[in-house]
Chains A and B, each alone.
Chain A
Amino acid sequence: MSTGNVTTLRRPDALPSLPSQGKIEQREKTTEGKVAFSFRNVAKSFGDKPVLRGIDLDVRESEFLAIIGKSGCGKSTLLRILAGLDTPTTGTVSKDASSRTRMMFQEPRLLPWERIASNVSVGLTGISKGEAAQEQALTILEEVGLKDRAGEWPYVLSGGQKQRVALARALVAHPQILALDEPLGALDALTRIEMQLLLERIWRKQKFTAVLVTHDVSEAVALADRIVVIDEGRIALDLDVKLPRPRRHGTAEFARLEEQVLNQLFGRGETNG
């Protein structure tokens, strides 16, 4: 498994049952649903520079979590720890040992020397091969609207299409957790909205737990069930977004939530939860 190198992984049975957990945030909904993963007092330093200073976070299954923060606040590090690309200096990350975590990067990171369908089948490494993998790859490519490009080389695709292939690769093995590290950051505004809609549609269909790191507040409000603002390595705001889906930009409630997150980010007013 890709996350095997997180030394602090615990088996699901080792997880304390939810209701008995003492230190839960002041969010009302935390006790609902099964927990997909939790961070317990996770800290990370690079050299003597602390990046994360004690993160406590429980994320429920099928929840769409957005993590927002200024650059350098540690949000990408948090995601890399979740995906098993980094290990925490102290603290523990626990998730179901059988759950599969996939990561989508800001760049598509496709293999230029493999055709689109083979690139998607990278997501099935160690899971299935040959014809079966090819078939699964085509199915998920159809989902992202690129089935007819399956036989092409990556260089002929546009930036948005490449990112859709990367999404297909991340989802082809039906992961339980999808970590997204600003995957839409490099796209133009229109492609970006298109991708947000696609991501939301597939998320609602496949029901994975999504963790989206972004610096775009309106993207977070449009997509997430819950927004966490990270500031100087700590959770500064943990906010539920209860807008009905599909969401429309520009409603009063939408604007109010955006305002609340922005205020937190720029330290204006007292908006805590």
Chain B
Amino acid sequence: MSTAKRIEIGGITGWLLPALILAGWEAAARAGLISANVLPAPSAVAEAFWRLLLSGELVANIGVSSARALAGFAIGGSIGFIFGLANGLSKFSRSFTDTTLQMIRNIPHLALIPLVILWFGIDEEAKLFLVALGVFFPIYINTLLGIQGVDPQLVEMGRTYGMSPFTLFRRVILPGALPAIFTGLRYALGIMWLTLIVAETISSSSGLGYMAMQAREFLLIDVVVLSILIYALLGKLADSFARFLESIFLQWHPAFKKV
């Protein structure tokens, strides 16, 4: 019980500093210490939020960006997961593809933006391609590491009890690799937003990044700040979701023990 309380208090403490910063920011803006052209007051950002919410623009842009993020994640993540599984389970597959994948990994995926624009223009495919490519590697590498890190003694135990290859995979290998796969998932979610922000800022005709760039042209600095804050919020949301999944699937792990 006491641990539950501590966690709750910890949750509140975490929000204390952001609240203080926000209050200080507001006070400084009202006192005229920060010029509105440099950084608008939080209240001005809140106003912009309300305005855009009512016009429907904000919801539409968040929707577009989220859909891109998730689609890119689904594509890159599942390909990464499949390659991770294949290369973790099959020596042949690993020796066949791993070197190639490691070489591609060393190219920063954002460096491909000019090429991607040449290939796809500023259409959806460009964003999907970049997000998928960015998400692929953390998922691939961590799935592979997770499978390679499964305790061989447990695998031997499973074999002596006559587990079929599929049962062995389902009861021993996959659950054993899961903590590493979740680490990859959280990395991938971070990269997913980062890639999308860059891609939408450089070339887009909708989405949060586009909204921010439009606002810059019209000097609507409050909207620019709002976009940045929403990106932060979405990133936090994705991370919380991953943590929530961990707390369900990794209950058996002493590090995730619940009361």
Contact = CB atoms under 8 A, between A and B. Distances in A.
Given A111-B154, A153-B251, A153-B252, A2 B160 contact: yes
Interface stretch (B76-84, B114-122, B140-148, B167-175): B167-175
B158 A122 contact: yes
B252 A2 contact: no
B115 to A, nearest CB: 43
Interface in B131-168: 153-154, 156-164, 167
A122 to B, nearest CB: 5
B143 to A, nearest CB: 17
Contacts of A191: none
A2 B159 contact: yes
Contacts of A126: 162, 164
Nearest to B156: A85
Contacts of A153: 251-252
A113 B252 contact: yes
A31 interface: no
Given A111-B172, A113-B175, A125 B252 contact: no
B26 to A, nearest CB: 48
A123 B171 contact: no
A114 B159 contact: no
A123 B172 CA distance: 14
A112 B253 contact: yes
B175 A2 contact: no
A85 B160 contact: yes
Contacts of A114: 171, 175, 252
Contact of A2 (B153, B161, B167, B253): B161
Q: Which of A84, A103, A111 has the most CB of B within 10 A?
A: A111
Nearest to B155: A109
A125 B167 contact: yes
A1 interface: yes
Contact of A122 (B153, B171, B175, B178): B171
A122 B161 contact: yes
Interface in A75-112: 83-85, 102-103, 105, 107, 109, 111-112
A87 to B, nearest CB: 14
Interface in A209-252: none
Contact-residue size bin, chain B (C-beta under 8 Å from the other chain): 20 to 34
B254 interface: yes
A125 B160 CA distance: 10
Contacts of B153: 105, 107, 109
A84 to B, nearest CB: 7
A100 B257 CA distance: 37
A153 B153 CA distance: 19
Contacts of B161: 2, 102, 122-123, 125, 169
Contacts of B252: 112-114, 153-155
Interface string A139-161: 00000000000000111000000
Contacts of A154: 252
A83 B171 contact: no
A125 B163 CA distance: 6
Contact of A83 (B154, B160, B254): B160
5 contacts: A83-B160, A85-B156, A113-B175, A113-B178, A114-B171
Given A103-B160, A125-B161, 17 more contacts: A2-B160, A84-B160, A85-B160, A102-B160, A102-B161, A109-B153, A109-B156, A111-B171, A112-B252, A113-B175, A113-B178, A126-B162, A153-B251, A153-B252, A155-B254, A155-B257, A169-B161
Interface of A: 1-2, 4, 83-85, 102-103, 105, 107, 109, 111-114, 122-123, 125-126, 153-155, 169
Q: 6 nearest interchain CB pairs?
A: A113-B175, A109-B157, A113-B252, A2-B162, A153-B252, A155-B254
